[in-house]
Amino acid sequence: MTDPILKISNLTKRFGGNTAVSGINLEVQPRETIAIIGPNGAGKTTFYNMVSGRMNPTEGKIELEGQDITGLPPHKISRMGVSRSFQINNIFPEMTVQENVEVAVTAFHGHSRKLFNFASRNRAVQDEARELLGKLQILELADRRAEVISYGDKRLLEIAVVLATRPHLVLLDEPTAGMTPDETKRTTSLIRQLADTGDYTFLITEHDMDVVFGLADRILVMHRGENLFVGTPDEVKAHPEVRRAYLGEEEEEEASA
């Protein structure tokens, strides 16, 4: 076993009396794709918020490539190679598709690279943005305004934006939510292609079990903030408690303050 890219120890988040994430332990190996499943309110987004620095954990530790990143602000964690998407679209509607990616690439270059002059810098940003659009197979939409492209293409654009900071660890929050079955299939196969390049480690929260089983090397099953089970897709399919808790009845949302 190699050193984990991400090591989570006893990660816990409480909101008042409500424990959203409770004592999660997880080691993620480089280039693994981990799916995080669990009913609404299980704590998946809160888990992401802590790993990406948007929320401080109440307890526990987050290590990225051996470095303690617990409680660091989002921009620092981003510069260390962690990038995340949001459940809700996070793109600028009046800008073109390509400009949306250029904004993200520029933000990254500003920190990490000095190019001699404006023109060559601009050129490099454009090339990189177009390369990312190509990876997501939306290059032909480069000059459209983002607001006019389909919902599925917007979500792919969002992934291009997420990849613009050249992350090693990519957190996707329900990448196929709201997509048509065809868009879901296309997105699943694109994420699989990105995973197969070996350039990325993915954490993916997802409700669609076909997507989960099609992408995940391992699955973390969360239930009421807790780690119910971690295992391969086959182990998850065979696990009676997991079937009951997640593949079975819908959980009732608990009214909490």
Ligand X SMILES: Nc1ncnc2c1ncn2[C@@H]1O[C@H](COP(=O)(O)OP(=O)(O)O)[C@@H](O)[C@H]1O
Site for Mg ion, rule CB under 5 A: 44-45
Q: Within positions 217 to 256, which residues make up the interface with ligand X, using CB under 6 A?
A: 256
Q: Which is nearer to Mg ion, 98 or 187 (CB)?
A: 187
Q: Which is nearer to ligand X, 42 or 101 (CB)?
A: 42
Q: How far is the CB of 86 from Mg ion (least distance, A)?
A: 10
Q: Which is nearer to ligand X, 20 or 179 (CB)?
A: 20
Q: How far is the CB of 8 from Mg ion (least distance, A)?
A: 17
H and E: helices and strands count for the chain: 9, 10
Q: Which is nearer to Mg ion, 44 or 223 (CB)?
A: 44
- Residue 16's region, left for phi above 0, alpha for psi from -120 to 50, else beta, is left
Residue 165 site contact among ligand X, Mg ion, none (CB < 5 to 8 Å, cut-off depends on kind): none
Q: What does the block give as tokens for 146?
A: 């983002």
Residue 120 site contact among Mg ion, ligand X, none (CB < 5 to 8 Å, cut-off depends on kind): none
Write out the H or E segment, with its range, that includes residue 219.
strand 218-223
Examine residue 20 and tell whether it contacts ligand X (CB under 6 A).
yes
3-state secondary structure 61-90: EEEECCEECCCCCHHHHHHCCEEECCCCCC
In the complex, residue closest to Mg ion by CB: 45
Using alpha carbons, list the distances in angstroms from residue 100 to 41, 133, 148, 163: 31, 10, 13, 12
* Residue of 115, 119, 132, 130 lying closest to 190 (CA atoms): 132
Q: Which is nearer to ligand X, 40 or 189 (CB)?
A: 40
Q: Which is nearer to Mg ion, 32 or 174 (CB)?
A: 174
Q: How far is the CB of 205 from Mg ion (least distance, A)?
A: 6
Q: How far is the CB of 98 from ligand X (least distance, A)?
A: 31
Angle between helices 151-163 and 181-196 (to 10 degrees): 20
Q: Within positions 30 to 89, which residues make up the interface with ligand X, using CB under 6 A?
A: 38, 40-46
CA dihedral sign, ordered 66, 67, 71, 75: negative
Q: How far is the CB of 38 from ligand X (least distance, A)?
A: 6
Cα dihedral 225/230/233/236 (nearest 10): -70
> Do β-strands 218-223 and 169-173 pair in parallel, antiparallel, or remain unpaired?
unpaired
Task: Kindly list the residues in this chain that would bind ligand X in the complex (CB under 6 A).
Answer: 15, 18, 20, 38, 40-46, 256
